Structure 1
Amino acid sequence: MYNDLIHELSFLGNSKKIQKIKELLRNSKNLKGKKNPELQLSASALVFKGEKLYFIEHPYQKELLLPAGHVEEGESPKEAALREFHEETGQVAKNGQLVDVNIIEIPFNAVKNEKAHQHIDLRYTFELTRGPTRRAELPVFLLSKAEAPKEFQKYFNRREKRRT
């Protein structure tokens, strides 16, 4: 069911993390939307404006995260990342490339009464195309490497290497 995605992950290398995620995908049925209460697909957008990266304040976890959300039925993870970036920030981006994947532990959400579960989160870099075309759904922050949460600082290094 996820053969194209498994193939795309091959370009990220062959680490234990990648192998584990490929195995989860091979053994899973529908991970789109919220149909599987244990494991779901999500996608994140890495979009820079100059030397700063876009972040949102997550409404339930109350922490700064990349714009992201669930991959819905009928869309690819890349399309989901673009959609979520636009919805959450109001900005428009294009030309995505998969750069990372993680398994994220999602805590119990009392507001939505959702039990703790995991996301396979696919992370894509995009180019910012133009300013806001709609109002942002969430608080938006442009942060430098020094200001960004530690987990995301490695993406700034990737950007710096591309420039040299």
Structure 2
Amino acid sequence: MNIVDQISLTAIHSPFTSVCDRVLSSKDPYSRSTKQGHITASGLVIQDDKVLLIFHPFIKQWFQPGGHIDDGESPIHAAIREVYEETGILCESIDGQSNLIDIDLHEIPANPKKSEGVHLHIDLLFVLRALKQEASHEKIEKAWVPFDQISSPRIQRALQKLQDQT
């Protein structure tokens, strides 16, 4: 099943079904110029029974690192790039696979500083392995959080899927 089909299946039981359909049928569902929403990518980096999280400077909550997909970039490469930019941790996909573990639809609040209205993020979550730590390009707080201290339902869901696969 391709990513668009997986997103459509996820959206069926969501309050965002119609917006998701408009994003997926847009000229470029990955582009920020698709104002009703766009597909984004994030990385679930796991090491020693801990998950790498960042404190989102605008939303003021702890999340997995991630963000927008650049023009011509694959979602997995966007996830790897975003983790590196936000944390300085260089990652790779596990066993060279795409490792899409979860799709989440969530509304992003308006951000007047970026001239952005409320819009939908269709976030693709990929499992990544940390290779090495370098200096971060962005000044974002990060932490390695033990599995039993994860409060995000989405990350708990992804960790459960990983456990079910083993």
Q: Which residue of structure 2 lines up, in the alignment, with residue 160 of structure 1?
A: 163
Structure-2 separation of matches of 1:29 and 1:56: 31
Structure-1 separation of matches of 2:118 and 2:23: 19
Q: Which residue of structure 1 lines up, in the alignment, with residue 69 of structure 2?
A: 71
Unaligned runs of 5+ in 2: none
SS at match of 2:99: strand
Structure-1 separation of matches of 2:59 and 2:92: 28
Shift of 1:109: 1.2
Q: Which residue of structure 2 lines up, in the alignment, with residue 40 of structure 1?
A: 38
Letter in 2 for 1:134: A
Shift of 1:17: 4.8
Q: Which residue of structure 1 lines up, in the alignment, with residue 124 of structure 2?
A: 122
TM-score by length of 2: 0.80
1:96-129 superposed Cα distances (whole Å, 9 cap, x missing partner): 4111112110011133231100011111111222
Shift of 1:41: 1.4
Structure-1 separation of matches of 2:52 and 2:117: 28
Structure-2 separation of matches of 1:4 and 1:158: 19
108, 111, 115: which one aligns with 1:109: 111
Q: Cα–Cα, structure 1 residues 43 and 4, in superposed 2: closer, same or farther, change >3 Å? A: same
Letter in 2 for 1:91: I
SS at match of 1:146: helix
Shift of 1:71: 0.8
Letter in 1 for 2:136: R
1:73-116 superposed Cα distances (whole Å, 9 cap, x missing partner): 11011111010011111111112411111211001113323110
1:133-152 superposed Cα distances (whole Å, 9 cap, x missing partner): 22252111111223222322
Letter in 1 for 2:111: N
For these two proteins, the number of residue pairs brought into alignment is 156
Q: Which residue of structure 2 lines up, in the alignment, with residue 53 of structure 1?
A: 51
Unaligned runs of 5+ in 1: none
Shift of 1:70: 0.5
SS at match of 2:113: coil
Shift of 1:52: 0.4
Identity of aligned residues (%): 26
Q: Which residue of structure 2 lines up, in the alignment, with residue 144 of structure 1?
A: 146
Letter in 1 for 2:56: H
1:27-61 superposed Cα distances (whole Å, 9 cap, x missing partner): 22112231111111100100101100011111101
Shift of 1:25: 5.7
Q: What is the root-mean-square deviation of aligned Cα atoms in Å? A: 2.6
